[in-house]
């Protein structure tokens, strides 16, 4: 039997400039012979969300349904948490629990996930986990660009036929584009939302400018109470209000890929587990199709659930934040804390908080693409994002 043509392609060397140039999010595809498909598959060279959504979920996103416009194709959304959280997970460990169960129940033979290197807890190290222990070793976010797809060559070479891939939007877009070439019988995709990601160097700058003790941070998250929560090695928690972040310094910290990304909610995963549409302390579950439901069913017995809610009105806050971000305004800490308290009391909650976050990031990213890559604007912004951005008045 002749080998597929992509196997003759040459993976790129580490550190070399990728086809998407500065917009590359280091998804890992170009580290493999699947680089053969990069022109069609790369999320930054060929935006094809609508086609890929229709294929993955067997129907397109209904842009006239306000929830689908924002959160993508879905069968149901709700809030959940594990009754017995996994220690050391990012939230309560729903992602890791599903992956472990899929291996234990033999639904899949391997799980693409990302551990960290021995030397650096935030340096991502993608692996194909074959045991629950290896999945658990990948728990907690590595809040940096991660080449998750760099292990794809090993999938084909080791003859795996049933695979779970855990990943963020840009990785999953490229994965869906090459899905047919992987020789799999069944692919399961478990996604997380993702925004404002950074290179490892960018992460250090963020920690150095924002935390009181950058070297001891083991975990952080931008939470629904409008604060960044840091957890330190000694178990202590530090919170910093969003409005007090040093926006001037941080403006250049986010990777150009992430300043140009409109797949915040991971529209192509079968099942998405985040937090942004859920009450504080809960996880947000979006079941996109039957495969996603099948995955979720495996751990229903481990979950406490509640319906998603929505409260407040985000629009004025988003509109006001656009010029403030644009000019790099940073409030003094006392004013930032006060603003955080006020917004937390009267501001957007639940799904409205998720819309607040999507609107703020999409307007910012739209302006970024318009100013830095005007030639890409027309093709790169998906229709759903364009409709969301059109609700606001943007500076030139």
Chain mean position to CA 348: 21
Residues 207 to 226 in contact with ligand FAD, rule: CB under 6 A: 221
Sign of CA dihedral 329, 335, 341, 347: negative
Contact 129, 155 (CB under 8 A): no
Q: How far is CA 32 from the centre of its chain?
A: 22
Q: Does residue 369 touch ligand SF4 according to CB under 6 A? A: no
CA distance 186 to 316: 45
DSSP symbol at 225: T
**168 versus 287: smaller Cβ distance to ligand SF4:** 168
Beta strands in 44-142 (DSSP E): 76-82, 110-116, 124-129
Asked if 194 is part of the footprint of ligand SF4 (rule: CB under 6 A), the reply reads yes
**Interacting partner of 165 out of ligand FAD, ligand SF4, none (Cβ under 5 to 8 A depending on kind):** none
Only one residue has tokens 């070439």, namely: 181
89 binds, among ligand FAD, ligand SF4, none (CB under 5 to 8 A by kind): ligand FAD
Residues 246, 210 contacting (CB under 8 angstroms): yes
Backbone angles phi, psi at 151, to 5 degrees: -95, 0
Contact call for residue 192 and ligand FAD (CB under 6 A): yes
Our finding on whether 295 is near ligand FAD (CB under 6 A) is no
When the beta carbons of 103 and 194 are compared against ligand FAD, the nearer one is 194
Instruction: Give the other-Cβ count within 10 Å of 7's Cβ.
Output: 14
Which of ligand FAD, ligand SF4, none does 148 bind, CB closer than 5 to 8 A by kind?
Answer: ligand FAD
> Minimum distance from CB of 6 to ligand SF4 (Å)?
13
38 binds ligand SF4 (CB under 6 A): yes
Of the candidate residues 93, 347, 348, 350, the single one contacting ligand FAD (CB under 6 A): 93
Q: What is the distance of C-alpha 102 from the center of its chain?
A: 21
Task: Please answer whether residues 170 and 261 qualify as being in contact, where contact means their C-beta atoms are separated by less than 8 angstroms.
Answer: yes
Q: Which of 126, 169, 340, 347 binds ligand SF4 (CB under 6 A)?
A: 169
**Residue ranges in contact with ligand FAD by CB under 6 A:** 86, 89-96, 113-114, 124, 138-144, 146, 148, 166-168, 192-195, 197, 221, 273-276, 283-284
Residues of the shown chain interacting with ligand SF4 in the complex, contacts defined by CB under 6 A: 18-20, 24-27, 29-30, 38, 42, 44, 145, 168-170, 174, 194-195, 197, 257-258, 261, 263
């Amino acid at each position: 039997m002749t080998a597929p043509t992509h196997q003759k392609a040459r993976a790129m060397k580490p550190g070399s400039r990728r086809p998407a140039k500065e917009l590359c999010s280091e998804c890992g595809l170009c580290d493999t012979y699947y680089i053969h498909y990069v022109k069609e598959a790369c999320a930054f060279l060929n935006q094809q969300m609508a086609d890929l959504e229709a294929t993955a979920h067997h129907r397109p996103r209904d842009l006239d349904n306000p929830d689908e416009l924002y959160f993508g194709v879905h069968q149901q959304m709700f809030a959940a948490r594990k009754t017995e959280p996994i220690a050391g997970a990012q939230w309560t460990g729903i992602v890791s629990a599903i992956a472990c169960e899929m291996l234990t129940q033999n639904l899949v033979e391997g799980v693409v996930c990302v551990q960290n290197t021995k030397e650096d807890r935030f340096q991502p190290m993608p692996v194909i986990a074959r045991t629950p222990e290896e999945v658990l070793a990948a728990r907690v976010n590595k809040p940096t660009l991660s080449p998750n797809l760099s292990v794809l060559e090993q999938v084909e070479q080791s003859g795996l036929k049933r695979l779970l891939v855990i990943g963020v939007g840009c990785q999953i877009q490229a994965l869906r584009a090459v899905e047919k070439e992987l020789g799999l019988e069944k692919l399961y995709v478990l996604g997380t939302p993702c925004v404002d990601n950074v290179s490892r160097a960018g992460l250090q700058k963020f920690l150095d400018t924002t935390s009181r003790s950058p070297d001891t941070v083991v975990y952080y998250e931008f939470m629904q109470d409008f604060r960044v929560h840091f957890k330190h090695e000694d178990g202590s928690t530090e919170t910093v209000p969003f409005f007090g972040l040093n926006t001037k310094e941080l403006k250049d910290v986010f990777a150009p890929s992430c300043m140009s990304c409109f797949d915040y909610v991971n529209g192509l995963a079968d099942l998405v587990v985040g937090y942004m549409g859920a009450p504080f302390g809960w996880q947000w579950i979006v079941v996109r199709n039957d495969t996603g439901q099948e995955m979720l069913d495996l751990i229903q017995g481990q979950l406490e659930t509640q319906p998603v809610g929505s409260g407040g009105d985000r629009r004025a806050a988003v509109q006001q934040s656009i010029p403030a971000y644009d000019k790099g305004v940073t409030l003094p800490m006392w004013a930032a804390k006060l603003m955080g308290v006020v917004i937390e009391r009267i501001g957007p909650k639940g799904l409205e908080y998720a819309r607040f976050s999507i609107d703020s990031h999409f307007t910012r990213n739209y302006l970024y693409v318009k100013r830095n890559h005007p030639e890409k604007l027309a093709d790169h912004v998906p229709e759903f994002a364009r409709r969301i951005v059109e609700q606001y008045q943007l500076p030139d």
